Amino acid sequence: MALELPELRSFLVLAQHLHFGEAAGALHVTQPALTKQIQKLESKVGGPLLVRGYRRVSLTPAGEILRERAQGLLREAEMAEEITRLAVHGKAGLLRIGFGIASLAAGLPDILTRFRQRFPAVQVSMADMSTPNQISALEQGDIDVGFVRLPVEHPDLETVPVLEERLVAAIPRGMPYRKGLASLRNEPFVVISRSVSSSFVDHVARTCRAAGFSPRIVQEVNELFTVLNLVRGGVGVSLVPRSANLMHVPNVRLVDTGLEEAKWKIGLAWRKANSRGADSFDPLVHNFIRLAYRPRGVAPAVDLKPLPR
């Protein structure tokens, strides 16, 4: 026969009071009930846990040992209940977030900060990957939500827009820009590598085409920061997310293109609640989306500061 928690609770209270009558009162039961509980407990462990003397109850060495264990056990049981309760309401557990090149700088840090403030018991893990990779990671259950480039058409995924970004030209200080983006038609371009985010490269090409030219790409690199530094070094120009201004690379100007094609939306994507074979909707995801998505039309979750200069 196995120990059960109610018995242990009774035993602990009795170990405090060392008096059957009082302990029974504290437990809101009558004294015989407590006597029977303790007797059952003692029969389970095969011997006495308490010594009943005249007007004096005391713990045996074995009782002392059980008392320590029981205390820990009950405390852990309470904690298990509490954390599970939190998890059920999306306030505890592990949330795996995917994010891409742009969302990191744009508004994600702020969203994360607010989320961790509001749900401190939630463990967050971040995975840096492109939009297509995020989509397959979502499908396979490797991440729970992702910051993806919209639009996403996928039968098992839902999305909501949370950020708006646009490409801006990154040029060395002093380079002429009178005629807008078209001024760069003959400049060499440095861009993020196609293997990092082909959709981003496509977007750069599309934007240039709207300005009437096709970019001559002379260098591909893996990091946005590298792009800006190559621009600074005069290797070429580039089109980068507007939020790149947060990186503060000196002698590099970020200037708006004024083109509608330069804009794009970043949204949150997650598995639909009843997608075939999938788990039910994770309340953690729900809480994260609610916090990230503030419906003011398509107002960005984070205000981008005006460009310097």
Contact footprint for DNA (CB under 7 A): 4, 6, 19-21, 28-33, 35-40, 52-55, 57
97 binds its own copies (CB under 8 A): no
Quick check: 246 binds its own copies (CB under 8 A)? no
Q: Which does 78 bind (CB under 5 to 8 A by kind): DNA, its own copies, none?
A: its own copies
User: Distance between CA atoms of 68 and 58, rounded to whole angstroms?
Assistant: 15
Closer of 29 and 175 to DNA (Cβ): 29
The span from the CA of 99 to the CA of 126, in Å, is 7
Q: Which is nearer to DNA, 7 or 142 (CB)?
A: 7
Cα separation, 114 vs 222, in Å, equals 29
Q: Which is nearer to its own copies, 61 or 295 (CB)?
A: 61
| φ, ψ at 30 (rounded to 5°) | -85, 165
**Which is nearer to DNA, 2 or 250 (by Cβ)?**
2
Of the candidates 186, 184, 150, the one whose C-alpha atom is nearest the C-alpha of residue 169 is 184
Q: Supply 300's token pair.
A: 């960005």
Q: How far is the CB of 41 from DNA (least distance, A)?
A: 10
Choose one: 79-87, 108-116, 195-203, 261-269; the region binding its own copies (CB under 8 A).
79-87
Instruction: Tell me the C-alpha distance between 163 and 304, whole Å.
Output: 10
User: Which CB sits closer to its own copies, 214 or 274?
Assistant: 274
For residue 5, give the H/E element and its range.
helix 5-17
Site for its own copies in 9-48 (CB under 8 A): 44-48
Assign residue 179 a region: left if phi > 0, alpha if psi is -120 to 50, beta otherwise? Answer: alpha
In the chain the beta strands, taken as DSSP E runs, fall at 50-53, 56-59, 93-99, 122-128, 145-149, 157-172, 188-192, 216-221, 238-241, 252-256, 263-271
Q: Which of residues 45-74 bind its own copies (CB under 8 A)?
A: 45-49, 51, 53, 56, 58-62, 64-66, 69-70, 72-73
Indicate the residue among 87 and 127 with the shorter CB distance to its own copies: 87
Binding positions for its own copies, rule: CB under 8 A: 2-6, 44-49, 51, 53, 56, 58-62, 64-66, 69-70, 72-73, 76-81, 83-85, 87-89, 92-94, 277, 279-280, 282-284, 307-309
